[in-house]
Amino acid sequence: MMNNVAKLMIISALVSSLSGCFLTKIATMPMRVVGASASLVGAVVSVVPVAGNKVDEALETADEAIDTAADTV
């Protein structure tokens, strides 16, 4: 029990000492990677003109929404 309390206190101290900017980068990096991956998939699918354009537009919209949300965090 004391071991868990000690670990919790150490983690709390580390988290409180980190700057907000660093924590924001940790939180938003996965969102940006997913957004970039989705755009890449959209670029590959857009080779098919009819279906690809709609898919590409949807993925770009999702990518913009992720970037906007990440920038406001």
Higher confidence at residue 67 or residue 25? 67
Kindly write down the DSSP assignment for every residue of 4-64, as one continuous string: HHHHHHHHHHHHHHS-HHHHHHHHHHHHHHHHHHHHHHHHHHTTSHHHHHHHHHHHHHHHH
Q: How far is the C-alpha of 19 from the C-alpha of 16, rounded, in Å?
A: 8
Q: What is the pLDDT of residues 15-62, one digit of tens each?
A: 777 666 666 766 666 666 666 665 555 555 445 555 666 777 888 888
Q: How far is the C-alpha of 8 from the C-alpha of 46, rounded, in Å?
A: 49
- pLDDT at position 33 is 66
Q: Are 63 and 31 in contact (CB under 8 A)?
A: no
